[in-house]
Structure formats: structure tokens, C-alpha cells
A and B are shown apart, each in its own frame.
Chain A
Amino acid sequence: MLFHLVYLMTAVALEEPELLRRAVQGDREAFGEIVRLYEKRVFRVARRMCRCDDDAWDITQDAFMKAMNAMPSFNTDYRFFTWMYRIVTNTAINQSRSSARRGEVEFQESWGSEGQTALADTTVQEMESGLLVEAVKKAVEKLSPALRSVFVLRVDQELSYEEISEILGIAVGTVMSRLNRARASVRTAVAAELGGEP
């Protein structure tokens, strides 16, 4: 199983530059293969960034369409996944802002000293239940797009600060400050939802 996985990853790594080269030249089939390689990751980011599956599919498709259109100008010296992450996060952020402008979404953020302390023991016990998952989902949804994008890329995608900085085009220091604010806000919201101390 492990051997198979390593083999698969190696094959993808070897295959990707060639696929990218062909896609840049307008090869639709090659681009289709690239979509296949990245679609689940891209969809996951999109879904984590928005509130429903329909929006996530729209964002994902939109992001790939943008990538396809911009493919002729893509520099193959750069990493595709960074570029693709940037497109999907920008698309999701814009979508969130459009929704906010239409009054469909309201962002609630709170952070401060209450986020500095640990969740109380009672809340920790509740974490074992599905309630916690729902509470965290709700809390993440309430983050503003700017904070949510950093939170998703770090916590869900487990990217490094440097990678997030590159994707979002912001300084590493800003990544850290936004991440801290996002985490504090999530903790506070989760505690409030579950009735415990933050």
C-alpha cells in the first residue's frame, strides 16, 4: 500500500512538468489531467472557504476556468499548486465579499485576552462529540474571508507560513497575526457555542 502510494506520488511528480508544458501550449487534454490531479484539493479549499457545496462547486469550476484561460501565461518555473491555491482563495474571497455585499453573510470576529487561555475542561470533554465539529465549522464560517483563508490554508491544508505568504501575497508576519486572530476567534466562538469558557 505504502509502496503504491509512493509510486503514485513519484509518477505524479514526474508527470506534472510535462503536463504543465503541454497545457501552457493549449493542450486541453493535458489541462484536464492537471484538473484531475488537483480538483479534490482545490474543491476542499473552496468548500472550507464558503458555506455550502453549491458555492464550492462554483468556486472550484471558476478557479479552474481562470487557470485554463491564464495557462498560456503561466511560468512553468513556478509551482502550479501555489498558483492554483492563489486563484481558488482569491475566487472564494471575492465570492464571500459579494455575498456579504448582498447581505447574505455576516462576519463575526472577536479576539482578545479571552482567546489567550485554554478551553475549560468541560469544553474539552465535549470536544469528543460531534457537537464540537459543528461548533468549529460555524466558528470558521464566521471568520472574515481574510482570516478564513489563512486559517484554512494552515489548519486544513497544513501549509507552512512561507507557502501561505506566497499564495496570499502577504508578509509572513501578517500570516502569523491573522492566524492568531483567526484561532482566537474560533476558540471564543466554539466556547460560546458549547457553553464553556474560552
Chain B
Amino acid sequence: MSCPDRDELMRWLDGELPEGRRTELEAHLGSCAKCRSLIESQKLIEKVWRDSWQDPDDTAFEMMRRGILSRPPWWKRQRTWFAVAAVFSVYFGVRVFFLDGSGTPMARYAEEATPTVTVTGGRPPAEDSSVEEAEEPEMLLEEETVVEQAAMDEDSPSPEPVEEAVFEEEILSPATVTFSAAEAEGTGDELLEVSGLAGLTGGAASSPDDETEEQGYFSTESVSSSAGVGAADASIGYGGGGSVQVSRALEESQDCLNQSESDEIRSVVMDCAASPPAGPSYLVTAVFPDGTSDTLLREEWIDLFAMLDSIWTGEDITLELDASLTEDTLYLRCLIEVTGY
């Protein structure tokens, strides 16, 4: 008998060879030193690698388990994301008119009425991920790999979508944020309407709510969203009444930021501070797939923007927030563009 090919030897090693062929091959191994040597060295390589494993300390697992079980359910975190987005949009609007209301870059930006916040809804199609993988030569082993991986991802309960593919989906037209200045910074009780700033309240479109929210920096008497947000609501079953839900979700968000998430945000901010953008635009991505770090406290966003504001004082700053939904994750991306830098 001539030497079997290596594939067959490995199948024998794995105990995956059919009975008849196994007997033949074992007979050959008894007389062929070369094949025996291949098998023995392969066994040794795999054994030393397998045996090199050492489990970490039990306390590490205990900590991880506690971390997992202490997380709020996904539907609660998802609502919180929307709340964060809502706060960001409204807060920024408030800063434009009340905190930087006299000739600052932000005010100039507001006068241009450029859409600041876009809200994306819908889910990234699986094809996007596979296409993107196919475009990366270093990842592409062979055609079947891509197809199989796409199928595998579809079957996965919650595969991590490819970040870049997410935000091109269903860009909704800018909405209108209307809010009252009654209790904000003591500037009076006139009602302002900011066109071009998209507000996300999570409520039914164009249904102002009478509830008044006290958020520290500002107060909103009515926050309404007029474009497209209703569609996003429908896709995740997040319906109901406008700012009431936002308010409740905000309260829930207060204890949702863990240390690593907090640190991650701070590191983004500190990076910005340490290395101001070299060009006219700078991208800060805050994408937190579900289960890793997914909730930002309102204060974190406020700190971030306040700090950016202070870093780039005198510059024209535009901020853009994209939100995108997958089945169990809301992704946020913040684009900070500094013009005239």
C-alpha cells in the first residue's frame, strides 16, 4: 500500500475514518516510519498546545458572571439609547440658543440651519456585511468562506454588524425640535423652534406632550418630532407618548453606565483633547454593540460636548449623530466636524 495522503492520516488521527479504511491505514502505519512520524509529531504539537491551557482564577469568572447578570434587559437599554439620543439633540439645541447664543460658532452654525442630527432606522441587511467582507482581500480566503460566513452570521442570534455598513440606512429627513425656554437658564418663556435639528423623542410623530421635564441644564415643555421617528419606533416596538417615555428612560439610565464604559467615553474625550484634529473633520465614533458597552449617561454626553466645545472654542463645529437599529442593538455614531480649523 502506498502512503495515504495527509488528509486521510489526519482523519484517522481524529477518529473520523470509516471502519474499513481505518483498518487498512493502521496496517500501513505499522510498516511505514514516515507516516508514523507525521502522526506522532502532529499528536505532539496538538497535545502540548492543549495541555498548555490553565484556567483563570475562579474569582475572575465570578466577577464576569456578576457583570452579566447585573445588566438590564436589552429592551430597557434600547430605550435608554433613544433617551440619550433625545437628550443630545435637545441639549445641543439648547446650547445653541441659550449657552452660546451670541455670535459663537455654535450660534453661527445654528443660523445656517444645517441638519445637525440625523436619525437612521431600520436594520442593516446581512448582504451588506458579506459584501464588505468580500471587499477585504486579507479576510477573503475563498468564495465559499464569504458565503458560509454570511449564512453563519444570519443564523447567529445576534451577530455583530459591521459598523460602517450601519449608518447608510434610511437616513430620515431632519425633524423639528420645539421646546420652551421657560425654565432654562432663566432666559424667559418664549417658545423657540429650531428647524434643521432633528429631535428624537421616541414618541408618535408630531404629538407634543404636556409633561414638563427637569433635566438640569434645560427644561422642555414640549418636545415633538415630526419626521420619520415613528418608523423607527415601529421597528422596535418602542411606541407611546413622547417625552414621558424619554423622561422615564432617562431616570433608568442613571445607573447603567459601568466603569469601563465610562472610561471608554472619557478616553475618547481625552484623545480629542490631546490630539486635536489635523484636518477639517474629525470622527468620534461611539459604537457600542449590545452587551459590551451600550449605555451612556446623559452627563457623559454633556461632558463630552462641553469639553469639545472648550477645546475648539473659536472654531465652527458641527455635530452629527447617527443612530441605527439592529434587532437588539442601537448604534450611535457622532461625527464632529471642525471647519475653519
Contacts and interface: CB of A to CB of B under 8 A. Distances in A.
A136 B67 CA distance: 33
A133 B48 CA distance: 6
Given A32-B65, A144-B141, A168-B152, A94 B159 contact: yes
A183 B41 contact: no
Majority secondary structure of chain B interface residues (helix, strand, loop or mixed): helix
B139 interface: yes
B48 A119 contact: no
Contact of B157 (A53, A73, A132, A160): A73
B44 A124 contact: yes
A44 B38 CA distance: 27
Given A40-B55, A66-B158, A184-B6, A156 B61 contact: no
Interface stretch (B7-15, B102-110, B189-197, B266-274): B7-15
Given A39-B65, A136-B45, A65 B291 contact: yes
B291 A187 contact: no
Contacts of A57: 60, 64
Interface in B25-48: 34, 37-38, 40-42, 44-46, 48
Interface stretch (B68-76, B83-91, B120-128, B170-178): B68-76
Interface residues of B, number: 56
Interface string B110-141: 00000000000000000000000100101101
B151 A169 contact: yes
Contact of B292 (A32, A62, A169, A170): A62
Contact of B6 (A64, A68, A116): A116
Contact of B48 (A40, A132, A179): A132
Interface of B: 5-7, 10-11, 14, 16, 34, 37-38, 40-42, 44-46, 48-50, 52-53, 55-56, 60-61, 64-65, 67-69, 71, 73-74, 133, 136, 138-139, 141, 144-145, 148-149, 151-153, 155-160, 289-292, 328
